[in-house]
Structure 1
Amino acid sequence: MKWDIKSFLGGIVVGSVLFSGIAIAAPAFPDAEEGMKTPFTYYFDGLPKSPNSDVQGIMYKNSVYVPIRFVAENLNKPVIYDARTKSIFIGKIPSAKMYSKMEAIELVKKKFAGKLSPTHVVEYAHDDEKGHYVIQVYQTVVNNFQSGDSYTSTYGWFVVNPNTGEIKSLL
């Protein structure tokens, strides 16, 4: 088969038509870079401050997301991130042992290790009114593999005290 200019141009036209639909079908999510095009000015005690251009905040769904290190340091508070527990400390570090949400999940997993199957999910749900972590243990059970119908089977809801690590059932 011999390639000529007609075939080449035809290929470009067909390719353009086929791939132009990708841009139309792309979801309309805002680009984080778009928020960085307009730098925000932050005021601390009436004084304007701007972070470095590589750590600008972004606007998403009418909320401004701000670099926490920039804010804390302008409030003269140190910031420490503990990757192991996925905890962010601003200002003073707690003097007593405090369990993080990730550590609370691990405590619940250990407590029920012999009773849970590999399909059980142990996850943080929210904090209760006392500041304790609420952890849900559940699994998704597929009852019809052909249709994909499934339901959630809850093993239990548990409260973990962040000061002591004590686990109590909510039921």
Structure 2
Amino acid sequence: MKWDLKSFMGGIIVGSVLFSGIAIAAPAYPDVTEGIKTPFTYYFDGVPKSPTNEVKGIMYNNSVYVPIRFVAENLNKPVIYDQKSKSIYIGKLPVAKMYSKMEAVELVKKKLAGSLTPTHVVEYDHDDEKGHYVIQVYQTYVNNFQTGASYTSTYGWFVVNPNTGEITSLL
């Protein structure tokens, strides 16, 4: 097989197209390598304490992010992580059933199961003034594939009471 300029240029173009997606697929997490290098001293009731070398706080955008287990244990509070509900409990567990944000999203999905398509997105947006979860249901449509321009079409906004699981539509 003979390689010529045409084959070489074709390979360059195909390679460029294939590897250009790597930047898009790169994680959206910030580079925190500088923050990890900074040793922090934490004080609990005036007593300095340091986490183990494997667990460190980081500085990002002028905020210090601290390992929650280290803080809670130094405040003599137990920490429990519930992977199913994506909930972190510090101190006492709730005495009554409380729905997590992830469970609220699943409740809305279940309620709308017959009317949603696979392109609908159901996601937690924020807490309202009463502490209820506000869930948005929407679709994103690309209207220009060359530029990537798109718009969002909202199906609805829903409020979920974290104590009862009751769902109320905002629209």
- Whether TM-score is above 0.5 comes out as yes
**1:101 matched residue in structure 2:** 101
Partner of 1:164: 164
Output the CA distance in 2 between the equivalents of 1:60 and 1:139: 32
Deviation at 1:51, TM superposition (A): 0.6
Residue of structure 2 equivalent to 1:150: 150
- Does residue 91 (structure 1) correspond to residue 121 (structure 2)? The answer is no
What SS does the corresponding residue of 2:114 show, helix, strand or coil?
coil
In structure 1, the partner of 2:39 is 39
Distance 2:155 2:36 in 1: 44
CA distance in 1: counterparts of 2:69 and 2:31, whole angstroms: 22
User: Can you give the 5+ residue segments of structure 1 that lack an aligned partner in the other structure?
Assistant: 1-28
The CA deviation at 1:152 is 0.8
Q: CA deviation at 1:147?
A: 4.6
**CA distance in 1: counterparts of 2:49 and 2:143, whole angstroms:** 57
* Cα distance between partner residues in 1 of 2:54 and 2:142: 46
Letter in 1 for 2:132: H
- Please list the CA deviations of residues 70-121 of structure 1 after superposition, one character each: whole Å capped at 9, or x if unmatched: 0000000000001111000000010110000000000000000000111000
- The 5-angstrom pairing of residues 103-142 of structure 1 reads 103-142=103-142
Query: 1:46 deviation in Å?
Result: 0.6
Q: Structure 2: how far apart are the matches of 1:31 and 1:117?
A: 36
Q: Distance in 2 between matches of 1:47 and 1:143?
A: 59
Structure-2 change in CA distance of 1:55 and 1:108 (3 Å): same
User: CA–CA distance in 2 between the matches of 1:65 and 1:160?
Assistant: 29
Amino acid at match of 2:41: T
In the alignment, the residues of structure 2 paired with residue 98 and residue 30 of structure 1 have an alpha-carbon distance, to the nearest angstrom, of 32
Specify the alignment match of 1:3 in structure 2.
none
- Cross-structure match for 1:62: 62
Residue 124 of structure 1 and its aligned partner are, at CA, apart by 0.3
> How many residues are aligned here?
143
**In 2, Cα distance between the equivalents of 1:35 and 1:148?**
34
2:75 corresponds in structure 1 to 75
DSSP 3-state at the match of 1:69:
helix
Q: Equivalents in 2 of 1:170, 1:30: separation in Å?
A: 35
Counterpart residue identity of residue 157, structure 1? W
Identity of aligned residues (%): 83
Structure 2: which 5+ residue stretches go unaligned?
Answer: 1-28
Please say which structure displays the higher CA radius of gyration. 1
* Residues 1:51 and 1:139: Cα distance change in structure 2 (over 3 Å): same
